[in-house]
Chains A and B, each alone.
Chain A
Amino acid sequence: MSLDDFIYNSKSLWMEGNGPEADVVLSSRIRLARNLRNVPFPHKANLEQADKIIKQVFDAIEKSSEFAGQFRCFRMKELTHLERQILVEKHLISPALAESEKGAAFIKHDESVSIMVNEEDHIRIQTLYPGLQMEKAWQLSTKIDDVLEERLDYAFDEKKGYLTACPTNVGTGIRVSVMLHLPALNMLNQSNGIFTTIGQVGLTVRGLYGEGSKGLGNIYQISNQLTLGQSEEDIINNLKGVTKQIIEHERSAREKLLKDAGIRLQDRVGRAYGILSNSYIISSQEAMELLSDVRLGIDLNLIKNLDSRILNEMMILIRPAYLQKFFGQELNEYERDIKRASLLRDRLKQSEIK
C-alpha cells in the first residue's frame, strides 16, 4: 500500500461511521504507552537510539504470525510537512509526532491501528474504532501489545506498572477516549453542566478542535485522566458508563428540541444543507458548523436522502492539508475556501440516497 493510498483513501475504518450508538459516538480510541528498559526516553535519546527502537518495533511486527505484512512504516523525516499533516488530520498520528524527526508510525492497512514510535514514550499503540466499541479497541490494542512484548524488553515495575516518560501516564499507560457529537446538548446549553460533573469522576472533556468551551462542530472528546490504581477494565467501564449517560442526555435533548422547536430546527437543518450544497466559498469553521447541523438533521430524520457518514468523512476532508493533497497543489486560504466548497458540493451530491 503506497503513501498515496493512505492519503487519498478517505475511508479509515473509524470514518465509516457505523458501530453501536453511532448517532452520538463518532469513534472510540485506546492508547497504550510503553517504553523499553534501559534506553533513554525519546526526549533524551539520540538519533541512533531512536532509530534502533524503530527497527526493533519493525522486527517485532514482521516476525509475528499475527501481524506480519499488515503494517506500513512511515518515518517522519522521510515525509513532507504536508504528508505528516494529513496523517494528523486523519487522527493517525499526534501533532507532537509529526514534528519529531526521530519519530515513526506503523499504520495498519485498514487504519484501525497506528503504533507511534518515539513520541513522548518509545511506543504508543493506538486503536481506533467507529461508534462505541471500547472493548473491541482494547482487545486489539492489548493483543498488539502482547505481540510487541514477545520481542521487546518493556520497562515494567511490579508496583508502578508500565513506566512512562510522564508520571501522569504511569501504571496502565492507558488513555481511553470517545469522540462525541453533542449538538442538541449545546443548543439547549446543557453541555457545560454535564462536563463539570465529568471532571469530578476522573475524566476530562474538551472540544475536539480548538480550546474554546464549545467544541467546533459540537464535537467533544472524553478521556480518562487517571492511569494508576485501577485496572484497564475498570477504566474502560467507568468511561463507558459515563458515555452511556451522556448519550441518553443527548438523545432526550434531541427529542425535546424536536418537540419544542420543530419547525425552527427543521429550518436550521434545511438551511445548513442548502448552504453546503450550493456555496462556492466556505471556511472550515463554517463548514464544520453546518455539517454538524446536517448530521443532526439526518439523525432526526429531518433529512431523509443523505448518508449519515457525511460528517465523519467530511470533517477530515475539509481540513487544509487534506484539501491541498486532494487537489494536488498548494493552496492559500482563499483558494482553500473555494476548493472546500466545491468538494462539499460534490460529496453531498454523491451522498444522496437515490
Chain B
Amino acid sequence: MLCTNCKKRPATVHYTKIVNGEKTEMHLCQVCAKEISDFQFNFEPNFSIHNLLAGLLNSMAEPTVGIDYQRNEHCPSCGMSFNEFSQIGRFGCNECYSAFEGRIEPILKRIHGSSVHTGKVPRRAGGELKVKREIDLLKAELDRVVKLEEYEKAAEIRDKIRELEKQLDKNK
C-alpha cells in the first residue's frame, strides 16, 4: 500500500483518526507522518484541555461509580448517557445540559472556577436575562443612594425597577 499523502513511498504508519464521530483511516510513509506531526498547526489548545477534562471526569466519577450503573441517566432529546459523555467529553445536544444538570455543576466549577455566565447575552435567545441584569444593577444603585439619603433619586430608581419588573411579568 502506498502512502496516501505523497503516493510515492510505501505506507508504514497506519492509524485511525476520529473527528466529530467520523473515522478517517490514515496510511502514511515515515517521511509524511513525521512532516504532518511536526507541522500540524494546532488550531485550538483542545488536546490539553480535552485530556484535562477526561482526567477530571474520571476522578470525579469514581465515588459514584456504583450508582452510575444503577441509574445512568439519558438525555431525553439526543439519547446520550452520562457515561457516554464522561468517555468522549462532549455533550450530544443543548438539552444534555439540563438533563445532567446536577452532575455538570461541580464539573464546570472545577474547570472554570465558576458555574455562572456573566458575559454577552444574545438579543433574541437571551430573552429576559438582559432585563434581569438591568434590574440587578438598578437595585445595587438603589442601595447606594438610600445609604446616601438621596430619597428623590431613590424614588426614581424604584419607578424604573417597577417598570422593568412589569415588563418581565407581561412576558410570562
Contacts and interface: CB of A to CB of B under 8 A. Distances in A.
Interface of A: 31, 35, 37-44, 88-89, 91, 93-96, 99-103, 118-120, 142, 145-146, 149-150, 153-163, 165-168, 170-172, 174-175, 204, 206, 208-211, 216, 221, 223, 225-232, 235, 284-285, 319-320, 330, 332-333
Interface in B2-24: 6-9, 17, 19-22, 24
B94 A163 contact: yes
Contact of B90 (A43, A88, A204, A330): A43
A77 to B, nearest CB: 11
A225 B49 contact: yes
Contact of B111 (A94, A102, A226, A231): A226
17 contacts: A38-B77, A38-B94, A96-B19, A99-B19, A103-B20, A149-B122, A157-B98, A158-B117, A158-B132, A161-B120, A162-B120, A166-B49, A166-B90, A171-B112, A221-B45, A226-B113, A333-B32
Task: Kindly name the residue among B53, B112, B117, B129 whose own CB sees the greatest number of chain A CB atoms within 10 A.
Answer: B117
Interface residues of B, number: 64
A238 B25 CA distance: 41
Nearest to A231: B119
Interface in B64-96: 77-78, 80, 88-95
A306 to B, nearest CB: 24
B116 A229 contact: yes
B111 A168 contact: yes
B1 interface: no
Nearest to A103: B20
Given A166-B91, A171-B119, 15 more contacts: A37-B125, A44-B93, A88-B43, A101-B22, A145-B122, A153-B124, A156-B126, A160-B116, A162-B122, A166-B53, A170-B112, A171-B117, A228-B115, A229-B115, A229-B117
